């Protein structure tokens, strides 16, 4: 494994570059990060949907998308997401390498469109165009209500609300229908201006590009005073297990459990915590899969996920509603075993091998590379460092970290019984 | 070993057909950490009636998928664990016409590759373990029953096809899988898992000569008798769609509509050309740059949940498009009106779409998974994935326009709708 990464700061923007020739594409991601707040969330969630539809110079979807098609299906998209206690609006360009299609200026032409999208939106009417805003508000309302139709996501959202009512981490990432109502084309313009003027900017590039070429190509980025990040939530105490359930006319029940994990997300222990999660429910050899599914045939899926930034661990299982109680008992027993060190050396070795395999594979996908760079910036560790930490973690580390896991909430979406 | 370099994609494929009939393809991806291998049989959910010892036999629906699950059990225990010990992640999937087993790993590639080949070539089922699997698969089926997109899609397929087994859910039903016995599994295994019905594809930072030597040595240890071609029966399917429209009520907030146009499959190279022509046509009609999309968008009838697809296999083919919408019927009326006049395409638009499809293909080649899965699909159909750039460049505006007339005949159409409980 010998991939180099370059990270530097210039005029308040942090650049992350992965120079490589192995891909057929160049990927550029520009992110704008601000504190996650209820008042701005819905407006910031809607903004990218409007910005990716048109710009001042390309004033319709057709006008903007036609050149992208001609440039060999250049991907150019805007998106919004939550990252701990920050809200991130991102613009991504994904473009075929010019030498493969004998089109030398391909990257430059595509970067121009990226610049147009971010810095020259269609504000000719003072705000964003009324017609687009009206249309996109309606579509966004549809997106928000469709969350109900995806039962796994629905149940997870309910669990988050149960764990941290009213807090940033449990805010729905698309925003709320009530807040959406209030948005106007001029309020959206204000949201846009604050994004460009106030947010912290990060740039990620993966491809056959040098540091100089990259600074040159992205010289359109504004110069800012350096901004600090504030995505890491405070640690929380558990005060008893909260429970909630609802019934819907569905075939399969969804059992979601939320645990608090007292591990600092910037610490080396947060890497080791992934071994604990791996033993518990991260893989097909994990305790949850082997016991809830293979041994008891109670579920098709039963898995866990460690969300380092949220200081939480979640367990999900799709079960027959009348078996939910039994499934919860078995899940609890697996955690008790883990805390007591009841796992074999083979399980530990296997979990480490899987985690290391997954880390090496990150280098083979531009999107995953960027995701890893973004997620690991708070730790300042290299991929090699992470692999070394996993390799050298001990059984004692696992038991020590498992001891910090505490059940906080149980949500059950009941089906027909 | 044959070796072909495709200059327009900068990729080289190595090939050899072994004595037992197995087709082996290798592709070297320099600089990649991971090696990804798929071992695919041309056997899927539609193969529920075939000849065994001169007799036609019918097997329960969902058995190909059930067999896929059970292959992961061996006399030495769970195959997932064997891969886990080698630091690899393994998986498998069953489609209408194929079952594929795969792993991805960044170390111990040789052991992992042998593990893959050996477990797929060593069936082991007991009555007890077959019974236990029924509980798990029943939960898998129930999970899909609650998935509106899945129900919408199968609602459409059931409505388009009268007899063809493509209309049956890949996993079967709780009732059909309950009938499955260990003996049925062996029957299917022996019929469809002969090397001559399979393709092995390995992509990664490998040495092709060494990898081939390993595969050959592995196969030389196993005795496979020659075997005649497999006879399969899918019934006689009328050309027109069986039903016009189906509606289903589910626990959803937003209705969903999917429209299908049933096509016929010509098989092989001819079908590949038809598939690509159909895709160009769908892009011309429904991309965000099309006049249809624009008209629907301005009417507030279309959003980013809209998608379209052309599904093409040796035995069947169909085009679909659909989305979530508050008013499916208004969407249907408006799109019908837009397509009623045969659209005239500009030469420049066609050039743009060809560029787009070329670029889409090149971008996909970043993914070893895409290469292995798609190359295997093509190899089993007698076509070659890496001929796509040349083929796309050769498709004319006239061919696309002729495709419009063939595909969008009203008698080929079915509509599937999922809506909230009244």
CB A254 within 8 A of CB B148: no
B139 pLDDT more than 90: no
Active-site residue, B68 included: yes
The reported pLDDT for the residue numbered B348 is 95
Mean pLDDT, to the nearest integer, of B148-163?
Answer: 96
pTM of the model as a whole:
0.90
Residue B376 in tokens = 């295997």
Mean pLDDT, to the nearest integer, of A285-298?
Answer: 85
The larger pLDDT score, comparing residue A295 to residue A347, is at A347
CB neighbours (10 Å) of residue A165? 9
A417 pLDDT more than 70: no
Judge: A357–B140 Cβ closer than 8 Å, yes or no: no
Judge: A101–B297 Cβ closer than 8 Å, yes or no: no
Looking at the DSSP assignment, which residues form a beta bridge with residue A26? A95
Contacts of B252 in chain A (CB under 8 A): 146, 148-149
Judge: B363–A69 Cβ closer than 8 Å, yes or no: no
CB neighbours (10 Å) of residue A26? 24
A2 pLDDT more than 70: no
A203 pLDDT more than 80: yes
Please state the φ and ψ torsions of residue B64, each to the nearest 5 degrees.
Answer: -60, -45
**Per-residue pLDDT tens digits for B70-108:** 999 998 888 988 998 898 999 999 999 999 999 999 999
Mean pLDDT, to the nearest integer, of B285-300?
Answer: 87
Q: Among A211-225, B291-305, B358-372, which range has the highest average pLDDT?
A: B358-372
Mean pLDDT, to the nearest integer, of A166-170?
Answer: 84
Query: Cα separation of A111 and B234, whole Å?
Result: 51
Give the burial class of B131: count Cβ atoms within 10 A of its Cβ; 0-12 exposed, 13-18 middle, 19 or more buried.
Answer: middle
Contacts of A67 in chain B (CB under 8 A): none
CB B319 within 8 A of CB B309: yes
Judge: B84–A285 Cβ closer than 8 Å, yes or no: yes
Nearest-by-Cβ selection for B88 from A74, A301, A357: A357
The reported pLDDT for the residue numbered B317 is 98
Mutate to test the interface with B, among A1, A69, A151 (most CBs of B within 10 A): A69
- The residue of chain B nearest to residue A207, with distances taken between CA atoms, is B366
∠A385-A388-A393 over CA atoms, to 5°?
Answer: 125
Mutate to test the interface with A, among B139, B360, B388, B392 (most CBs of A within 10 A): B139
First and final CA of chain B: distance in angstroms? Answer: 63
Judge: B356–A72 Cβ closer than 8 Å, yes or no: yes
Judge: B367–A320 Cβ closer than 8 Å, yes or no: no
Contacts of B142 in chain A (CB under 8 A): 251-252, 300, 318, 320
The reported pLDDT for the residue numbered B23 is 97
Name the band, by pLDDT with cuts 50, 70 and 90, for residue A376.
confident
- The residue of chain B nearest to residue A349, with distances taken between CA atoms, is B85
Mean pLDDT, to the nearest integer, of A230-234?
Answer: 76
Query: Cα separation of A15 and A8, whole Å?
Result: 5
A231 pLDDT more than 80: no
Mean pLDDT, to the nearest integer, of B228-238?
Answer: 94
Q: What does pLDDT average to over chain A?
A: 92
Residue A42 in tokens = 């819905």
The reported pLDDT for the residue numbered B224 is 94
Query: Cα separation of B331 and B336, whole Å?
Result: 8
The reported pLDDT for the residue numbered A228 is 76
Of B2, B16, B68, B313, the catalytic one is: B68
B38 pLDDT more than 80: yes
The reported pLDDT for the residue numbered A292 is 85
The larger pLDDT score, comparing residue B143 to residue B60, is at B60
Query: Cα separation of B28 and B206, whole Å?
Result: 6
Q: Over chain B, what HEC string results?
A: CEEEEECCCCEEEEEEECCCCCEEEEEECCCCCCEEEEEEECCCCCCCEEEECCEEEECCCCHHHHHHHHHCEECCEEHHHHHHHCCCEEEEEECCCCEEEEEEECCCHHHHHHHHHHHHCCCCCCHHHHHHHHHHHHHHHHHHHCCHHHHHHHHHHHHHCCCCHHHCCCCCCHHHHHCCCHHHHHHHHHHHCCHHHEEEEEEECCCHHHHHHHHHHHHHCCCCCCCCCCCECCCCCCCCCCCCEEEEEECCCCCEEEEEEEECCCCHHHHHHHHHHHHHHHHHHHCCCCHHHHHHHHCCCCCCCCEEEEEECCCCEEEEEEEECCCHHHHHHHHHHHHHCCCCCCHHHHHHHHHHHHHHHHHHCCCHHHHHHHHHHHHHCCCCHHHHHHHHHHCCHHHHHHHHHHHCCHHHEEEEEEEECC
**Per-residue pLDDT tens digits for A132-164:** 999 999 989 989 988 888 899 999 999 999 998
Residue B257 distance to chain A (closest CA, Å): 14
Conformational region of residue B368, where left means phi above 0, alpha means psi within -120 to 50, and beta covers everything else:
alpha
A293 pLDDT more than 60: yes
Judge: B87–A357 Cβ closer than 8 Å, yes or no: yes
A236 pLDDT more than 80: no
Query: Cα separation of A361 and B32, whole Å?
Result: 8
Query: Cα separation of B337 and B322, whole Å?
Result: 16
Name the band, by pLDDT with cuts 50, 70 and 90, for residue A226.
confident
Residue A18 distance to chain B (closest CA, Å): 13
CB B278 within 8 A of CB B311: no
**Per-residue pLDDT tens digits for A23-49:** 999 999 999 999 999 999 999 999 999
CB A309 within 8 A of CB A265: yes
Residue whose structure tokens are 């109502």: A181
Contacts of A65 in chain B (CB under 8 A): 287-289
**Diameter of chain A by CA atoms?**
67
The reported pLDDT for the residue numbered A3 is 76
Sign of CA dihedral B326, B142, B70, A277: positive
The reported pLDDT for the residue numbered A237 is 78
Residue whose structure tokens are 């009609």: B285
Half-sphere exposure of A365 (CA within 13 A, CB side): 15
The reported pLDDT for the residue numbered B46 is 97
Q: Could you tell me which residues come within 8 angstroms of residue A181 by beta carbon, excluding any fewer than 6 positions away? A: none
Looking at the DSSP assignment, which residues form a beta bridge with residue B199? B23, B40
Query: Cα separation of B376 and B370, whole Å?
Result: 10
Q: Over chain A, what HEC string results?
A: CCCCCEEEEECCEEEEEEECCCCCEEEEEEEEEEECCHHHHHHHHHHHHHHCCCCCCCCCHHHHHHHHHHCCCCEEEEEEEEECCEEEEEEEEEEECHHHHCCCCHHHHHHHHHHHHHHCCCCCCCCCCHHHHHHHHHHHHHHHHHHHHCHHHHHHHHHHHHHCCCCHHHCCCCCCHHHHHHCCHHHHHHHHHHHHHHCEEEEEEEECCCHHHHHHHCCCCCCCCCCCCCCCCCCCCCCCCEEEEEECCCCCEEEEEEEEECCCCCCCHHHHHHHHHHHHHHCCCCHHHHHHHHHCCCEEEEEEEEECCCCEEEEEEEECHHHHHHHHHHHHHHHHHHHCCCCCHHHHHHHHHHHHHHHHHHHHCHHHHHHHHHHHCCCCCCHHHHHHHHHHCCHHHHHHHHCCEEEEEEEEEECCC
Judge: A61–B294 Cβ closer than 8 Å, yes or no: yes
The reported pLDDT for the residue numbered B84 is 87
Half-sphere exposure of A56 (CA within 13 A, CB side): 11
A222 pLDDT more than 90: no
Name the band, by pLDDT with cuts 50, 70 and 90, for residue A1.
low
Q: Which of residues 129-188 of A touch B (CB under 8 A)?
A: 135, 138-139, 142, 145-146, 148-149, 151
The reported pLDDT for the residue numbered A167 is 85
Q: Could you tell me which residues come within 8 angstroms of residue B43 by beta carbon, excluding any fewer than 6 positions away? A: B64, B97, B98, B99, B188, B191, B192, B193, B197
B206 pLDDT more than 80: yes
Query: Cα separation of B274 and B295, whole Å?
Result: 28
Mutate to test the interface with A, among B11, B292, B327, B363 (most CBs of A within 10 A): B363
**Cα A65 from chain centroid (whole Å):** 26
**Per-residue pLDDT tens digits for B319-362:** 999 999 889 999 999 899 988 888 889 999 999 999 999 999 99
Which of A2, A14, A29, A372 has the alpha carbon at shortest distance from A207?
Answer: A29
Mean pLDDT, to the nearest integer, of B298-322?
Answer: 91
């Amino acid at each position: 494994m010998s991939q180099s990464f370059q990270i530097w700061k210039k005029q308040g923007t942090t650049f992350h570059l992965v120079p490589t020739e192995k891909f057929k594409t160049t990927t550029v991601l520009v992110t704008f990060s601000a504190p996650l707040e209820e008042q701005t969330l819905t407006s910031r969630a809607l903004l990218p949907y409007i910005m990716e539809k048109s710009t001042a110079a390309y004033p319709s979807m057709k006008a903007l998308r036609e050149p992208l098609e001609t440039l060999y299906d250049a991907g150019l998209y805007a998106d919004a997401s939550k990252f701990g206690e920050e809200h991130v609006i991102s613009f991504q360009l994904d473009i075929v390498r010019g030498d493969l299609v004998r089109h030398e200026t391909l990257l430059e032409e595509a970067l121009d469109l990226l610049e147009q999208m971010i810095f020259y939106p269609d504000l000719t009417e003072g705000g964003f165009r009324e017609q687009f805003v009206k249309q996109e508000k309606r579509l966004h309302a549809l997106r928000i209500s469709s969350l109900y139709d995806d039962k796994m996501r629905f149940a997870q959202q309910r669990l988050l609300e149960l764990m941290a009512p009213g807090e940033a981490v449990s805010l729905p990432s698309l925003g709320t229908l009530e807040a959406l109502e209030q948005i106007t084309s001029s309020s959206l313009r204000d949201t846009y201006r604050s994004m460009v003027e106030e947010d912290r900017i990060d740039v990620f590039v993966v491809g056959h590009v040098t540091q100089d070429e990259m600074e040159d190509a992205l010289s359109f980025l504004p110069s800012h005073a350096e901004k600090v990040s504030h995505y890491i939530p405070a640690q929380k105490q558990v005060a008893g297990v909260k429970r909630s359930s609802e019934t819907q006319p569905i075939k399969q029940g969804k059992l979601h459990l939320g645990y608090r994990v007292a591990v600092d997300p910037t610490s080396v222990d947060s890497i080791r915590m992934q071994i604990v999660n791996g033993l518990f429910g991260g893989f097909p050899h994990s305790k949850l899969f082997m016991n809830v599914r293979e041994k008891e045939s109670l579920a098709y899926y039963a898995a866990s996920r460690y969300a380092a930034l949220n200081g939480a661990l979640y367990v999900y299982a799709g079960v027959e509603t009348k078996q939910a109680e039994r499934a919860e008992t078995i899940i609890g027993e697996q955690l008790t075993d883990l805390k007591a060190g009841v796992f074999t050396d083979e399980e530990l070795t296997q979990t480490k091998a899987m985690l290391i395999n997954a880390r090496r594979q990150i280098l083979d996908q531009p999107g995953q590379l960027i995701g890893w760079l973004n997620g690991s910036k708070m730790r300042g560790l290299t991929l090699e460092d992470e692999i070394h930490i996993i390799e050298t973690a001990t059984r004692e580390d696992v038991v020590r970290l498992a001891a910090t896991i505490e059940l906080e909430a149980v949500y059950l979406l009941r089906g027909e019984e | 070993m044959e070796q072909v370099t495709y200059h327009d994609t900068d990729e080289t494929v190595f090939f050899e057909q072994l004595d037992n009939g197995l087709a082996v393809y290798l592709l070297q991806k320099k600089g990649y950490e991971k090696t990804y291998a798929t071992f695919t049989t041309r056997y899927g959910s539609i193969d529920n009636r075939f000849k065994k010892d001169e007799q036609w036999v019918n097997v329960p629906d969902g058995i190909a998928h059930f067999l896929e699950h059970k292959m992961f059990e061996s006399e030495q225990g769970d195959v997932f664990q064997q891969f886990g010990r080698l630091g690899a992640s393994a998986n498998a999937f069953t489609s209408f016409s194929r079952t594929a087993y795969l792993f991805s790993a960044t170390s111990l590639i040789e052991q992992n590759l042998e593990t893959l080949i050996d477990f797929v070539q060593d069936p082991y089922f007991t009555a007890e373990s077959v019974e236990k699997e029924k509980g798990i698969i029943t939960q898998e089926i129930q999970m899909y029953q609650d998935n509106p997109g899945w129900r919408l899609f199968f609602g459409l397929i059931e409505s388009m096809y009268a007899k063809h087994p493509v209309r049956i859910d890949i996993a079967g039903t709780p009732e059909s899988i309950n009938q499955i016995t260990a003996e049925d599994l062996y029957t299917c295994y022996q019929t469809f898992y002969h090397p001559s019905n399979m393709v092995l594809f390995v992509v990664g930072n490998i040495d092709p000569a060494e990898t081939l030597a390993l595969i050959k040595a592995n196969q030389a240890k196993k005795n496979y008798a020659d075997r005649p071609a497999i006879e399969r029966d899918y019934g006689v399917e009328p050309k027109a769609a069986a039903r016009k429209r189906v509606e289903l009520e589910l626990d959803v907030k937003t209705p969903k509509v999917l429209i299908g146009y049933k096509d016929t499959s010509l098989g092989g190279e001819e079908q590949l050309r038809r598939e690509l022509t159909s895709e160009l046509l769908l892009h011309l009609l429904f991309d965000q740059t099309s006049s249809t999309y624009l008209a629907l968008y301005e009417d507030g009838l279309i959003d980013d949940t809209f998608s379209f697809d052309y599904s093409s296999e040796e035995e069947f083919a169909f085009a679909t498009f659909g989305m979530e919408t508050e008013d499916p019927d208004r969407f249907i009326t408006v799109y019908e009106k837009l397509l009623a006049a045969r659209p005239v395409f500009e030469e420049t638009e066609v050039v743009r779409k060809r560029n787009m499809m070329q670029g889409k293909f090149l971008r996909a080649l970043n993914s070893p998974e895409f290469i292995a899965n798609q190359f295997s699909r093509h190899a089993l159909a007698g076509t070659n994935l890496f001929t796509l750039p040349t083929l796309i460049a050769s498709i004319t505006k006239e061919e696309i326009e002729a495709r419009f007339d063939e595909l969008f005949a009203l008698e080929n159409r079915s509509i599937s709708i999922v809506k909230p409980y009244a």
